[in-house]
């Protein structure tokens, strides 16, 4: 799946700005960005719903609207796509199946897969948010597609549903399928994605693996607890720490020195150390830091 | 071609799955037949009691076509709902994911609307006519009376075109409210009133429903003109709807 120089403007606002990325098969690719970063618009351009002002989006070399029976190639879940409220879950999936000549038995299979068999004949209008999301996922899985494009799929799912979805996405990727999943929740991404596409204000900030992303942009620091924080901070700053901060619980967060070095400096200065540990910033912090840097790609 | 056929079959399934569209079709049948029976029954009473309230131009044949003139309101609602259902929820995105070619989806939708309207209008028109004659009893006419088969055929074509007109208007408006607010009062009272007022009479003759009504008027000399005028309206509405549908972006 390929986005090449996608640009979309709504009036004076450029929602997606010269965005290019590649989504490879066999891994889960996380599409990350704060709300309003242009994720949904980009996905809709990939799926032929929104016309880009310039640039192209292709899936397996073809534009979405040129795919023959597209549901068999791409399964998509969009935040803003909802079935007609007066339809039953079965009714909705049945017409979808017919539109792409998908065997009828798949309707029952996907309903079972998402745990909606019991609600199959209920009107969609009576569904909870979570059930609606499961139905959307059922629709995405209907054509057993080699490509999945899911916009904020965890929205409305309970803890068990989220775990189930995570396993599903990993399993699909392990089968060699292409999985693109967006989220504004970085912690969620860290648990499911292998690769990351990070955007902010419509522009690409990073396209890399999760571990590399954290390694490159993440903050590694050493936590120190001591009864003499002031003296410790002075000593450490004098001996090469790039920054020493006081955490809320009174401990120190030391940047720029490895744990062993911190320990030696403290011992040499006669400062007692009660606790010493190394921390790697979470994806959440890493992401927020990157976006805070102004969303300027030169920072990457 | 087979992809278009699959899209049309899907639209057919969708139509049956959405409760509102099915209800509208049922309502069309029920209202038409009920009014047809009621009209025949009250006319019979009027004839037998020499009631002066009976229209001077009353014929049992024409009375047999009154039912569908009221029933058509439900058929217009059906046409509007077939299209507007895509806009009232996020359905259009789902539909375009399944059938990404705009033209294919629009064609499938209009074709299914036309076929469904035709399939329901044909028996309902015939049954309504027969029910009126039955209610008229000894004053009733027959199915093969002069000009009747042509008027019945004209009625079926008229009803089908009106439902397509509704599809076009709904697609152009991208909603249900505006098309219903325009089409229902127009058909129910609007053009009737306008055609009575001298100043607007000439104009009202060219309204889709007034012109089309010539098709179901027994022994009308303007049936063909009426058909052409209604065809022009329907084509214009469907074209406007298509232009709006093609430019849908979201």
Q: How far is CA B138 from CA B35, B43, B52, B135, in A?
A: 19, 12, 19, 9
Which H or E element spans position A20? Answer: strand A13-22
Closest to A221 in 3D by CA, of A286, A146, A272: A286
Closest to A132 in 3D by CA, of A163, A76, A89: A89
Interface pTM, i.e. ipTM: 0.89
Give me chain A's average pLDDT, please: 90
DSSP code of A252?
E
**Residue length of chain A:** 300
**Backbone torsion region of residue A62, taken as left when φ is above 0, otherwise alpha when ψ lies between -120 and 50, otherwise beta:** beta
> Quick count: other Cβ atoms within 10 Å of Cβ A275?
9
Q: How far is CA A9 from CA A116, A152, A248, in A?
A: 39, 22, 43
For the stretch A65-95, what's the b/e string if a residue is b when 16 or more beta carbons lie within 10 angstroms of its beta carbon? eebebbbbbbbbbbbebbbbbbbbbbbbbbb
Which H or E element spans position B113? Answer: helix B102-136
Tally: H helices and E strands in chain B: 12, 0
Query: Which residues of chain B are within 8 Å of residue A44 when distances are taken between CB atoms?
Result: 93, 250
Which residue does chain B place closest to A47, by CA atoms? Answer: B97
* pLDDT (tens digit per residue) in B155-212: 999 999 999 999 999 999 999 999 999 999 888 887 677 767 777 777 888 889 989 9
Distance CA B214, CA B150 (A): 11
Distance CA B63, CA B61 (A): 5
- Indicate the pLDDT class of residue A196, thresholds 50, 70 and 90: very high
B11, B13, B91 member nearest A94 (Cβ): B13
Tell me, what's the pLDDT at A294?
54
Distance CA A284, CA A198 (A): 12
Strands A195-200 and A54-58: unpaired
User: Bigger pLDDT: A241 or A51?
Assistant: A51
Are B76 and B166 in contact by the 8 Å Cβ rule? The answer is: yes
Query: Which residues of chain A are within 8 Å of residue B85 when distances are taken between CB atoms?
Result: 84, 86
B7, B14, B100 member nearest A48 (Cβ): B100
Are A177 and A27 in contact by the 8 Å Cβ rule? The answer is: no
Distance CA B127, CA A71 (A): 43
Local structure of B39: helix, strand or coil = helix
Flag if A80 and B89 touch (Cβ within 8 Å): no
Q: How far is CA B20 from the centre of its chain?
A: 17
Q: What is the mean pLDDT of residues A10-15?
A: 92
Q: Which residues contact A162 (CB under 8 A, 6 or more apart)?
A: A154, A188
Closest to B80 in 3D by CA, of B209, B12, B8, B182: B182
Lowest-confidence pick of A261-270, B3-12, B234-243: A261-270
Tell me, what's the pLDDT at A289?
74
Interface test with A, best of B17, B18, B83, B176 (most A CBs within 10 A): B17
Query: A246 — phi, psi (to 5°)?
Result: -95, 120
Flag if A92 and B17 touch (Cβ within 8 Å): yes
């Amino acid at each position: 799946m390929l986005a090449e120089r996608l640009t979309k403007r709504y009036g004076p606002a450029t929602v997606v700005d010269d965005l290019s990325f590649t989504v490879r098969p066999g891994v889960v690719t996380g599409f990350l960005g704060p709300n309003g970063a242009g994720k949904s618009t980009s996905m809709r351009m990939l799926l032929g719903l929104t016309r880009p002002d310039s640039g192209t989006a292709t899936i397996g070399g073809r534009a979405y609207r040129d795919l023959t029976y597209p549901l068999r190639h791409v399964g998509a879940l969009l935040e803003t796509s909802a079935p007609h409220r007066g339809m039953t879950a079965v009714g909705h999936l049945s017409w979808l199946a017919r539109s792409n000549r998908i065997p009828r038995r798949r309707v029952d299979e996907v309903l079972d897969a998402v745990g909606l068999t019991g609600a199959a004949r209920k009107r969609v209008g009576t569904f909870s948010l979570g059930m609606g999301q499961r139905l959307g996922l059922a629709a995405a899985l209907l054509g057993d597609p080699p490509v999945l494009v899911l916009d904020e799929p965890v929205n409305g799912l309970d803890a068990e549903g989220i775990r189930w979805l995570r396993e599903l996405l990993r399993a699909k990727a392990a089968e060699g399928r292409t999985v693109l999943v967006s989220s504004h929740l970085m912690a969620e991404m860290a648990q499911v994605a292998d690769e990351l596409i990070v955007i902010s204000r419509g522009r690409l900030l990073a396209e890399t693996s999760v571990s590399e992303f954290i390694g490159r942009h993440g903050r590694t620091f050493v936590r120190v607890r001591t009864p003499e924080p002031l003296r410790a901070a002075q000593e450490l700053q004098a001996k090469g720490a790039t920054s020493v901060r006081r955490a809320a619980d009174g401990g120190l967060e030391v940047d720029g020195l490895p744990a062993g070095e911190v320990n030696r400096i403290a011992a040499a200065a006669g400062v007692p150390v009660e606790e010493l540990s190394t921390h790697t910033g979470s994806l959440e912090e890493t992401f927020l830091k990157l976006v805070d840097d102004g969303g300027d790609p030169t920072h990457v | 071609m087979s992809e278009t056929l699959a899209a049309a079959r899907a639209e057919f399934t969708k139509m049956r799955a959405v409760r509102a569209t099915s209800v509208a079709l049922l309502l069309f049948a029920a209202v038409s037949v009920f009014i047809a029976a009621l009209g025949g029954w009250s006319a019979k009473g009027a004839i037998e009691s020499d009631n002066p309230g009976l229209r001077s131009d009353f014929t049992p044949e024409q009375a047999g076509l009154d039912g569908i003139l009221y029933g058509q309101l439900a058929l217009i609602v059906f046409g509007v709902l077939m299209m507007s259902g895509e806009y009232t929820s996020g359905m259009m995105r789902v539909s375009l994911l399944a059938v990404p070619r705009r033209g294919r989806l629009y064609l499938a939708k209009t074709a299914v609307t036309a076929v469904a309207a035709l399939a329901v209008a044909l028996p309902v028109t015939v049954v309504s006519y027969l029910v009126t004659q039955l209610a008229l009893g000894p004053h009733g006419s027959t199915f093969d009376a002069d000009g009747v088969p042509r008027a019945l055929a004209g009625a079926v074509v008229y009803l089908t075109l009106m439902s397509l007109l509704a599809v076009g208007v709904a697609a152009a408006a991208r909603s249900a409210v505006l098309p219903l607010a325009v089409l229902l009062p127009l058909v129910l009272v609007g053009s009737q009133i306008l055609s009575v007022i001298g100043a607007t009479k000439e104009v009202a003759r060219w309204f889709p429903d007034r012109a089309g009504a010539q098709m179901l008027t027994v022994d009308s000399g303007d049936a063909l003109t009426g058909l052409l005028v209604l065809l022009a309206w329907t084509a214009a509405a469907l074209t406007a709807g298509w232009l709006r549908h093609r430019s849908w972006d979201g």
